[in-house]
Structure 1
Amino acid sequence: MLAKGAPVCCFRNRKNGFSPFPGCLTLLSLLLFAGRLPAQVAVEVVAETTVQTSETAPHKIPGFSISVDEKKLNLLDDYERYVRHQMWEKALTTIKELSASKSTSALLPTRDGFLIDADQRIFRALTSLPAEGREAYRLFFDGKARKEFAELSEKGQLFSPDSKKQLVQIYYQYFLTSIGDDVADLLGDQAFERGDFIQAAQYWRSILDHHPDTSLPELDLNVKYALALIRGRQTGQAAATIEVISQQFSGQKVTLGGKSVDPVPYLKSLLPEKLTVSSSTKHNQGANHLTRALDLPDSKTEPRWQIHFLDKAVEQALQNSQNDYYGRRKSYATYVPPMAVDQQHAYFNYYGVCFGVDLQTGKLLWRSAKFKDLGNHFNNYSFHQSSHLNQYHVAVSGNYVLTTLIPQKEMNRYRACYRLTAYHKDTGKQLWQSKVNNESFICEPLVDGEQIYVISHMQNNKQLKLDCLSLKTGKREWSIPLGSVVAGNSSNGMVNMPSPLLQKEGDQLLILTNNGALFDISLASRSINWVFRYSYPVNQTDSNYYYAAVDEEVELHSQGQLFRARNLLFFKEAGANEVYALDLAAKKVLWKRPIKVSAQLVGIDDQHVYLLSKEMEALDRQSGRLNWAVSLPVEAGGLSAVIGSGQAWVFTSRGVFEISKTNGDIIDIYRGHDLNSMGGAIQLKQGLLICVSNQAVTAYPTRSVERQTSGP
């Protein structure tokens, strides 16, 4: 990194005959600052399908509740109406008021389902002006903008700490003037130098997208944009930008250290070899994608090991609870405990009894309590009031196993909370547990380095917040309020809270609320980048906790899931009846498709998006069209699949089914050694096919150890 105040010669020529930036970063300094990373990747192009968006403002769509500044929203509506009627003076006066006034909310809605940063939303409205409006804007503001910018330059304050706020204000208020691109470029340099790479990328991208008459070299802007994306670990967008540079600026070079260099091979050398996604350790997220066909064991092959966790006392208690409570809790019989796996061990959370298993031998390493002790709780009414099966989670990272659970000593407490508990992965020793009496943690924790990201709420409160905790101590480091869920109450007064899903790439954290909202969080600035809102059924009653489990969604314990491939995101929420494909770079819906509520996303590849319920469905990845579907004897939760090059494998009540990805035909069935179960989750790890049912964990040896990938 450059020393503060070091003189650097700028590589570009400024318009207007002067260069007011004696300390700005050069392209060479950006390249040096970016650092070297291993080489990588191909760029993906996906056809776009037009989607009709709702006329309802995103914050008013039924579901997750997010507040916006209604006063600014009304001003924005006035501005856009004036623009439509070419009333330029009123429009420009309104946009000036919008930019200058303080906001009571950080977000404002767009017309395509997103809520974005208020300044960015106003900026988007400004840059969408037609040619006639842009000309009026320059006549109206150019003189004042140049004057304010010149005053900052003449006072030598362009690089002072106090200048950033003024420069940002000039950027948002006067971007379309003749100095707007210079200001954006300077802000990009400054953001890059202080390590805010995504913000730097946004500044440079705004010049490329919205300032067509800039005299700044387009090649240099693209190179700087790509560097910022690489440094911000947005490698998918970076790879796409490098492809643009190679196509549009073929043979052109930039000067680095006095030498002419082709930027394309250099930028490619900075990309990582693999586009890795840090995510919550779902059994179907990355480890279940193979590069070749999986050889299932033959019918005579014995399992490597098997562990039964459904104790007879627990089984009888489950049956008793169904009889005593008029058939309620039948979904308990189809419940499959969540699993987390590392290179040596597998970990499980069965109604708060957590245990670890050696992958190769099946030896029980430890357990937090005896399975038979659970039988004492299943006949207790308080346990049934507080129990939400979708809020038992387990994750493993380093020496830590993290779980969300109701401690056994609190199981019979009225409105018990779900505690976040850390165990040592080898010994099962409890290292710490969340202590706030009325705080409940409702999602699988995501570990990144020394931090844990998790969603929590206060009991009897529907406000969700994102927490960042210390991995070593569990102490809270910071929090971000997200909004309020819209959830029904059960007849015993308990709120049926959703179980959000977290996924991280670089400094970007995606949060699928499973309640009608998808958040993009900047971890660097600890702020919300944007929210995508979509309709969600608001009058939810969860039959998982009342009466017989007659609904397929309840029987299968369907969960929300999301999968990311470069800039594309595919997701479906629990309780929702639509699956979405989003372009994250363009912030638009590529397609959405109605689907039954019980279906859960279980994987993607280059051609298909796969969903599983009591049938497996393959949707065309580009259009969302249904290509094939096949009925399967799926009767329990843990919905997942192993996705290979030409086949997919699903663990059912009748064994492991091998399915052709071409047409959905059933190729083979391996009956296995858990025939009394209802099926469940499946994962391939260390050459073992691990099947988790409603009563046991069974590991089968495969006839060849396949190389696993992180998915497409």
Structure 2
Amino acid sequence: MTLELDRRICGWRTLLLIGCVVVIAPLSQSTPVQAQVLVAGEDDTPGENKPAQPPFLLPAQPTEIGEAMEDFRRFAGRKQWEKAFKHLEKVFAATAEGLVLTADGIMLPSRMIAREALLELPTAGQDAYRLFFDAEAKKLLEQAVGKEELTKLSQIFSRFVVTSVGDSAADKLGDLHFEAGNLEQAVNAWRTILEQRPDSQISKVRLRTKIGIALARQKHWTEFHELLKVVEQQHATEKVTIGGKEIPAVSHLRSLAERRAPQGAVAATNPSTTEAAQNRSAQNGIAGDIPLPTDTEPLWQFRFFPVSDSKSGAPVGLQLQNRWGGQQNASDWIPPVAADGSRIYVNFAGYDLGIDLENGKLLWRSGRIFDVVQKAQQGTITPLEQHGLVVGGGRVWTVAREASQQQQHGEAAKFGIVSRELDTGKKVFNSQQSNELKNWSIRGTPLISGERLYLAANKPNQGRDLEVLALNSSDGRLLWSTKIGSYTSESNPYSMERTYQPSLLLHGGHLYVDTHSGSLVQLDAVSGQVEWGLNYASEVSQSHRFWWNGNQSEPFTVGPPQIINGILYLKGMRSKKLYAVDPQRPRVLWHRSVPRIADLIGIDETRFYLGGEDISAFDLTTRKIIWSVKVNAGSTWAHPVLTQNRIYFFSSRGIYEINKADGKVVRVFRGADLESLGGNIIVTPKALLTVSNLAITAYPLNSESTKAKTDAASHSTLSPASVAVNSLDQD
């Protein structure tokens, strides 16, 4: 499917288009777009008040680029091809950073729009383009060898796909991406030939078979079966050459479907942001059901705070306070935690901990943790959500302020990133001591994949600008940085509300960044180039709310975007809509109104599931609610776990086990952390861990209950009483 440019591209001189209303402000080079797009659809709320300015602005092309596109269309309509192509060359030559707004909120690179405009030309126009540019395209194809092959083929695909060699270049480009493991980009190149070059002499059955293989490897089974039907109908007897053998295309694709792996057994449900963890659902490998313990006695418990005095009724947890005085609030914050085969790692408000997974003993710590309580009361550790943690590359990486800088403000109060040895906690790298990174303040949880570490960040003197950084995970060297836009308003950490912290997702060679303030962008994970953006409906934060005004903080839940069967799903922190986006075309497929406090738990083959004040299931096709169940939410930092047949939610009452089929609560496991507000669940091969605002508690999995308790006691050097409860008091 191609873009319908005359309808969908919002020209800079046009204020009203079919299906969209856009407010345009004057633009200049490198100026973010100031537009609010209202996406028409059955889920829109009539009369809903929209902010005059969106909370986040993506970078936009200057007005002359939009004008050049209009001039191209005007001269092309008159069949004045030479003048039309002259204006189109201006669009191709525009800076790669700027985007152009379309009618459904998608913002596309000007080069992509120019290419789509070429593909929309009638036959006479495409013939004229070949006459002007065939020679240049052929020269690039001749140069596409060795180190220059990928670059030259990409140039042809971007600018000269309608030339006589454009289809051959696209086919070779798809092969290169396939060999490099960039399967989505390979599928896009091959589909371009099928959908937009009907005159191509390249075998259609060969292209569809290659697409099918790539879809199977990505486990995009819905798309795969749709393609298989086409091959069965149109190429029933045709053969392709695979591995030097000529075999029927239909039988080969059917064999891939038959080898589809069954869904796995229990897997770690650690909410860390490694690529594998984030893409577990995307790979259609939803974890197996969790065998909850049969009794509430834990293997061990590591407490962040002592047990409260029941007589005084004093609240337990971090007591946050406005920096200028005012009321106090018992925080429901859940510290960032990750686990490997032997240890648990915690970023406790800027203090890093290594805890033995076998017995809960504190192995190492980065500083005097008792200071956290005092600093919380002084208001010097906010915003809590800017702290992050991820494990990868043989290290633990944490985002926090330096302990010595937590009393300071301005540039001295930057959040940096530190890496430590897993077994000792010894500091290996500190961004505040790096000439490349010392001016950056890191925002939220990083994402690590292989030798790359991805971060969101800003510079303190440019606090509203948001950039994405890629670091070498072995030495912390900066590989690239890309500005993706600017916040028009900032959340207020002193009112105890969550501030904007971006969520990252890595999938298929693309990095997705949800700003949680009305915009999402897709970047090339290798180069950092912005490929497209999305403006989605989102409220502007109340940046002037303070505790002395008597206003209470508002609850927000936050979750990263997810890709399931090739479809991107996202729900921004302050948004009242859930979006489904085709990231390859790209285009908004649908959106649905949801509660603002809701977060996306996950998606399976037929349903999507939302958390928040309720846990609910919706039909993926009709988007109608199927069931909903009330839970004791407790902490808004808690993330339910979706498995094959269940949803598990660690609440203030314990762990809810909910049947996905009908929403009935199968069981509530009370556990041994009864004073907490709930939190997150981690499953390891040996134990079930719950992480709350007060403690980390380990329970034996049901199938190994007796054996696990015996092993823990026999291997521990502590008495049975001290095995049950460890705490910061003992370090």
Check 1:66–1:425 CA distance in 2 against 1; reply closer, same or farther (3 A cut): same
Secondary structure at 1:378's aligned position in 2? Answer: helix
Task: Provide, for residues 110-153 of structure 1, a one-character-per-residue CA deviation record: whole Å limited to 9, x for no partner.
Answer: 33322223222111122234xxxx13314644544456667889
Give TM-score, length-normalised by structure 1. 0.77
Please, which moves more after superposition, 266-275 or 671-680?
Answer: 266-275
Pick one of 65, 74, 77 that aligns with 1:72. Answer: 65
Work out the number of aligned pairs and report it. 636
Indicate yes or no: 2:302 matched with 1:307.
Answer: yes
Map 1:354-433 onto structure 2 (within 5 A): 354-380=352-378, 383=380, 387-415=382-410, 416-433=413-430
The aligned residue for residue 103 of structure 1 is: 94
Indicate yes or no: 2:331 matched with 1:333.
Answer: yes
- Kindly, what percent of the aligned residue pairs are identical? 28
State the alpha-carbon separation in 2 of the partners of residues 297 and 177 from structure 1.
65
Map 1:515-594 onto structure 2 (within 5 A): 515-541=517-543, 550-553=552-555, 558-594=557-593
State the alpha-carbon separation in 2 of the partners of residues 291 and 168 from structure 1.
38
State the alpha-carbon separation in 2 of the partners of residues 644 and 492 from structure 1.
37
- Asked if structure 1 preserves the Cα contact closer than 8 Å seen for 2:322 and 2:378, the reply is no
- Asked if structure 2 preserves the Cα contact closer than 8 Å seen for 1:88 and 1:136, the reply is no
Indicate yes or no: 2:240 matched with 1:254.
Answer: yes
Indicate yes or no: 2:134 matched with 1:136.
Answer: no
- Asked if structure 2 preserves the Cα contact closer than 8 Å seen for 1:488 and 1:496, the reply is no
Q: Which amino acid aligns with 1:559?
A: V
Q: Which amino acid aligns with 1:357?
A: I
The aligned residue for residue 693 of structure 1 is: 692
Cα offset, 1:422, TM superposition = 0.9
Map 1:450-489 onto structure 2 (within 5 A): 450-461=451-462, 462-488=464-490
Query: Which structure 2 segments of 5+ residues have no match?
Result: 1-17, 25-32, 37-53, 309-313, 706-731
State the alpha-carbon separation in 1 of the partners of residues 472 and 151 from structure 2.
32
Task: Provide, for residues 538-573 of structure 1, a one-character-per-residue CA deviation record: whole Å limited to 9, x for no partner.
Answer: 3442869887773441xxx52132222120122211
Q: Which amino acid aligns with 2:194?
A: L
- Asked if structure 2 preserves the Cα contact closer than 8 Å seen for 1:641 and 1:683, the reply is no
- Asked if structure 2 preserves the Cα contact closer than 8 Å seen for 1:68 and 1:104, the reply is no
- Asked if structure 2 preserves the Cα contact closer than 8 Å seen for 1:137 and 1:177, the reply is no
The aligned residue for residue 713 of structure 2 is: none
Task: Provide, for residues 587-627 of structure 1, a one-character-per-residue CA deviation record: whole Å limited to 9, x for no partner.
Answer: 22222122222222222222322222222122222333222
The aligned residue for residue 655 of structure 1 is: 654
Secondary structure at 1:445's aligned position in 2? Answer: strand
Cα offset, 1:475, TM superposition = 2.5
Secondary structure at 2:423's aligned position in 1? Answer: coil
Secondary structure at 1:484's aligned position in 2? Answer: strand
Task: Provide, for residues 383-425 of structure 1, a one-character-per-residue CA deviation record: whole Å limited to 9, x for no partner.
Answer: 16xx111111111124211111112211101131111011111
- Asked if structure 1 preserves the Cα contact closer than 8 Å seen for 2:579 and 2:588, the reply is yes
Task: Provide, for residues 468-513 of structure 1, a one-character-per-residue CA deviation record: whole Å limited to 9, x for no partner.
Answer: 2122322212222222223336498999852111122242222222
Please, which moves more after superposition, 520-529 or 649-658?
Answer: 520-529
Please, which moves more after superposition, 400-409 or 184-193?
Answer: 184-193
Check 1:144–1:606 CA distance in 2 against 1; reply closer, same or farther (3 A cut): closer
- Asked if structure 2 preserves the Cα contact closer than 8 Å seen for 1:508 and 1:523, the reply is yes
Task: Provide, for residues 67-112 of structure 1, a one-character-per-residue CA deviation record: whole Å limited to 9, x for no partner.
Answer: 22221222324545677xxx33258733541135521344333333
- Asked if structure 2 preserves the Cα contact closer than 8 Å seen for 1:246 and 1:264, the reply is yes
Cα offset, 1:187, TM superposition = 6.0
Q: Which amino acid aligns with 1:459?
A: P
State the alpha-carbon separation in 1 of the partners of residues 180 and 634 from structure 2.
54
Please, which moves more after superposition, 141-150 or 279-288?
Answer: 279-288
Map 1:201-240 onto structure 2 (within 5 A): 201-224=187-210, 239=224
- Asked if structure 2 preserves the Cα contact closer than 8 Å seen for 1:365 and 1:427, the reply is yes
Check 1:266–1:122 CA distance in 2 against 1; reply closer, same or farther (3 A cut): same
The aligned residue for residue 120 of structure 1 is: 112
- Asked if structure 2 preserves the Cα contact closer than 8 Å seen for 1:609 and 1:621, the reply is yes
Q: Which amino acid aligns with 2:363?
A: L
Check 1:477–1:273 CA distance in 2 against 1; reply closer, same or farther (3 A cut): farther
Give TM-score, length-normalised by structure 2. 0.76
Cα offset, 1:189, TM superposition = 6.6
State the alpha-carbon separation in 1 of the partners of residues 659 and 495 from structure 2.
46
Q: Which amino acid aligns with 1:538?
A: V
The aligned residue for residue 594 of structure 2 is: 595
The aligned residue for residue 638 of structure 1 is: 637
State the alpha-carbon separation in 1 of the partners of residues 318 and 238 from structure 2.
71
Query: Which structure 1 segments of 5+ residues have no match?
Result: 1-51, 707-712
Cα offset, 1:358, TM superposition = 2.3
Cα offset, 1:366, TM superposition = 1.7
Please, which moves more after superposition, 156-165 or 53-62?
Answer: 156-165
Task: Provide, for residues 267-307 of structure 1, a one-character-per-residue CA deviation record: whole Å limited to 9, x for no partner.
Answer: 77799969999971599957898665434223x44111111
Please, which moves more after superposition, 311-320 or 359-368?
Answer: 311-320
The aligned residue for residue 609 of structure 1 is: 608
State the alpha-carbon separation in 1 of the partners of residues 375 and 161 from structure 2.
64
